[in-house]
Structure 1
Amino acid sequence: MSDIYQRIYQRKRMSATDAMSLVENGDFICVPTGVGEPPALLTALSEQRQTFHGVTVGQILPLRKFGYIDPATVDHVHHLSFFYGGATRPGGQEGWIDYLPSYFSEMPSMIMNRQIRVDVVFSMASPMDEHGYFALSLGTDYTMAAVSMARAVILEVNPNVPFTNGNCHVHISHIAGLVESDEAVLEVGLPQIGPVQEAIGEYVTDIIDDGSTLQIGYGAIPDAVVMQLSHKHDLGIHTEMIGDGILKLLECGAVTNRKKNYLPGKMVATFALGSQKLYRFMHRNPMLEMHPVDYTNDPYLAARNDKLVSINATLQVDLLGQCCSESFGPQPYSGTGGQVDFVRAANRSRDGKSFIVLPSTAKGDSISRIVPALSPGAHVTTGKNDVNYVVTEYGLAELRGKTARQRAQALIGIAHPDFRGELSEAARRLKLM
């Protein structure tokens, strides 16, 4: 059968320029998260963008500023953000890139229910195996649902993309076009970690038990936590993102996945963001499975892991515990992503713990990130009823099961000392103290 699949492969192979003939005016093109974005296809779309009209590219966390991300040609091809990244944040703040609010875990169902219409899929993919399958291993996320609904699936096949286990495989019979490239998969390094991040990480790691299963968000503080977990034992991984921090925990022996009671022995993720070393580690590794986000981030499924720990960053927290993790006031910065998915999963998990982490201040200690009320227009990401632990470099506040007054007192206690007096006065005005 492999010879048959090779003949089909050759029939569907084309240049990135020719693949644009499969795109029609008015199409919605779905692109995977982060490094799953296909550079040759998106470059070709950018070069030909003025020949199209009304084409939309939808994606979480684009990493490259392709030519189509251009305010002068938005009538031809425009970007719809599911989660802003550096390439799209300026356009979102200026108003010529729109945003689609959603929980990461619900995006596949929104596609399947046609609340998000998908006409075309552009995706990076591994080389085809002997059975005619490609792996969408770098960004499985919502892309597998999009594949099932699209008129045309166009893959950028690259030998540097790992072939992984899990529900991330697409058969050649479903493919409309194949474009080959061999450039290295984009690498995303670990964020810089300073003393504030290290202090926060220490507070978190102190109450993470051996045998816990981890979900680790992206950012300097979650990575600071990871760096301080090397002395733990039998940790497991059930996360949305697999990165180099997790790889380091595997290498030092802290992660074994042995104590997981849901999918023991297996790490589960939905997208990858890291180094070439990480991508090589993923290739045909029986310990790792890449699954769609409605599986990895489903709070019910993730919570089947006892001692589930979620670690996610935020930008601002008010005295009731509401978290704004995606905007500065009304100005967008990122997106909802999977933070709420895993906070709720950890709350459901037996002996689970969810951590929201943030430095106590911003702008050279001139602004407190713990505030009486969120800034006007702030996008509430994680609500007061979901938040459990909030951690700054000054300590840890446990909020679940606490009254409004107890919450205010606990959060003031982990604020920067310079702001505790004015926060206390504000709490009195709000009848919280």
Structure 2
Amino acid sequence: MKIVSAAEAVSFVESGNRVFFQGAAMTPNILIDALVDRHKELKAVEIFHIHTEGSARYTQPPYRDSFCLNSCFAAGNVRDAVNSEYGAYIPIFLSEIHVLFRKNILPLDVAFIQVSPPDKHGFCSLGASVDITLPAIQTAKKVIAQINPQVPRTHGDGIIHVSRITAAVEANAPIFSHAPVAPSEIEKQIGKHVAELIEDGATLQMGIGGIPNVVLNNLMNHKRLGIHTEMFSDGVLPLIEKGIITGEEKEVKTGKIVTCFALGSSALYDFIDDNPVVHFKEAAYTNDTAIIRRNPKVTAINSAIEIDLTGQVCADTIGTYQYSGVGGQMDFIRGASLSEGGKAIIAMPSVTAKGISKIVPNLREGAGVTTTRAHVHYIATEYGVVNLYGKNLKQRAKALISIAHPDHRQELEKEAYYRINKTR
């Protein structure tokens, strides 16, 4: 493995190349910044990634004249770019992004990654982000690594041998972290409602944020819980310490926490470092519906931007504005629904921060349907939980109105009446 300067490492990128960036806590910003500094000598370089951390200078003037973002997720640092002429969004399930690489639909010229120093056998760890990084490094023509001793060495499939690394730069800095945020009173209420749906022995999938962490906080009296998830954060740590999360009833990798990436505090990274209990796999595995459903009582907890009165869930756009991405919601909604005793849950506040109802007569014009009305089961707000499975359209509307914010129920009832009677 050749250790070079950052400028030399990024010199392997040529105009017209497609370059992959590892994401989340492992975003290799030393390499990214060095690449952006070359903007005057490059043109038509396509950047491909999902969620990254950092300023994303390649989406900002004057650098964006040399780089174009093609992303499968619109995080806050690239959201405006994705919705502009300088970027684009690819709607695709997280479980299927690997197909773009492995079937040469979007072949990769270069992959930028951040890894641990090699062990005595020459293997570096991909740390807290294996997700789509593993297929990226397996298929990219060149792999450029940022080697950092503060990257946790994780167990599972997230490894790369030094012989596969074209060039590397040295770094020594903490990886990106997010301290847990105190939940709001509304999130606490939603969390309590959702926690009541979770049974002993359930296998959990949850995302980051206030609601998942509150749900976990309400599980202190549960037993024999397991984790098979796309990602996890600090909320699981107290449950592991108290012996509540044991994974003993899981069918897939019994006793293991299965994930494809982790994002949280430094305490979380200390926990996953050299911990054989946590098994990191690529997203093609963690989000495979056929694998998810093999676990018992899979309880998937996801969120939404808005839900219409028929049960259609929009979780990634605000009208035509791309706000996030399809991600793994449908992977786990379907996997949980097919699991023996499983429960697919959409949890959200009843209104936005501006008081706009998130339960609506119709999705906004141009909004994407992330989860179809045929797939949706449980919906939770601070006003309760309803199960739409098996309900007709009239029954669904009535159920959803019952958990809408009281300020909006009358208007929703009028809209439901007009819809049923086809008159205004």
Give the structure-2-normalised TM-score.
0.96
Alpha-carbon separation, structure 1, partners of 2:419 and 2:180 = 41
Matches within 5 A, 1:6-85: 9=1, 12-85=2-75
Q: Find the partner of 1:307 among 297, 305, 308.
A: 297
Matches within 5 A, 1:331-370: 331-365=321-355, 367-370=356-359
Shift in Å, 1:191 = 3.5
Partner in structure 1 of residue 257 of structure 2: 267
- Contact 1:230–1:253 at 8 Å: present in 2 too? no
Shift in Å, 1:74 = 2.3
TM-superposition CA deviations, 1:127-184 (whole Å, max 9, x none): 1111111111221111111112111011111111111111111111211011110011
Q: Find the partner of 1:155 among 135, 138, 145.
A: 145
State the AA in 2 paired with 1:296. T
SS in 2 for 1:427: helix
* Higher deviation after alignment, 368-377 or 166-175: 166-175
- The question of 1:430 aligning with 2:419 is answered yes
Please, which runs of 5 or more residues in structure 1 have no aligned partner?
A: 1-8
Shift in Å, 1:357 = 0.8
Partner in structure 1 of residue 129 of structure 2: 139
- Contact 2:249–2:296 at 8 Å: present in 1 too? no
Partner in structure 1 of residue 163 of structure 2: 173
Shift in Å, 1:20 = 1.2
Shift in Å, 1:351 = 0.3
- The question of 1:234 aligning with 2:213 is answered no
Alpha-carbon separation, structure 1, partners of 2:21 and 2:345 = 30
- The question of 1:407 aligning with 2:412 is answered no
TM-superposition CA deviations, 1:10-44 (whole Å, max 9, x none): xx111111101111111111112311211110111
Partner in structure 2 of residue 193 of structure 1: 183
Shift in Å, 1:95 = 4.1
Shift in Å, 1:249 = 2.0
Shift in Å, 1:342 = 0.5
State the AA in 2 paired with 1:97. G
TM-superposition CA deviations, 1:264-320 (whole Å, max 9, x none): 111111011011111121112110110100000101101110100110111100011
Alpha-carbon separation, structure 2, partners of 1:246 and 1:103 = 25
- The question of 1:372 aligning with 2:381 is answered no
- The question of 1:214 aligning with 2:204 is answered yes
- Contact 2:301–2:347 at 8 Å: present in 1 too? yes
Matches within 5 A, 1:289-304: 289-304=279-294
- The question of 1:98 aligning with 2:88 is answered yes
TM-superposition CA deviations, 1:66-95 (whole Å, max 9, x none): 322214332312222211111111223444
Give the structure-1-normalised TM-score.
0.94
Q: CA RMSD in A?
A: 1.4
Alpha-carbon separation, structure 2, partners of 1:79 and 1:192 = 33
Alpha-carbon separation, structure 1, partners of 2:372 and 2:144 = 39
Alpha-carbon separation, structure 1, partners of 2:72 and 2:286 = 18
Partner in structure 2 of residue 390 of structure 1: 379
Alpha-carbon separation, structure 1, partners of 2:39 and 2:217 = 44
Shift in Å, 1:49 = 1.9
Alpha-carbon separation, structure 2, partners of 1:309 and 1:194 = 23
State the AA in 1 paired with 2:66. H
Please, which runs of 5 or more residues in structure 2 have no aligned partner?
A: none
Shift in Å, 1:416 = 0.8
Alpha-carbon separation, structure 2, partners of 1:199 and 1:95 = 41
State the AA in 1 paired with 2:367. A
Alpha-carbon separation, structure 2, partners of 1:71 and 1:21 = 21
Distance 1:246 1:116, change over 3 A: farther
* Higher deviation after alignment, 293-302 or 254-263: 254-263
SS in 2 for 1:84: coil
TM-superposition CA deviations, 1:107-144 (whole Å, max 9, x none): 01221112222111101111111111111122111111
* Higher deviation after alignment, 71-80 or 265-274: 71-80
Alpha-carbon separation, structure 2, partners of 1:142 and 1:411 = 36
SS in 2 for 1:154: strand
- Contact 1:354–1:388 at 8 Å: present in 2 too? yes
SS in 2 for 1:78: strand
Identity percentage of aligned residues: 38
- The question of 1:326 aligning with 2:316 is answered yes
Alpha-carbon separation, structure 2, partners of 1:432 and 1:93 = 38
- Contact 1:63–1:86 at 8 Å: present in 2 too? no
Alpha-carbon separation, structure 2, partners of 1:251 and 1:48 = 47
Alpha-carbon separation, structure 1, partners of 2:202 and 2:25 = 28
Distance 1:125 1:65, change over 3 A: same
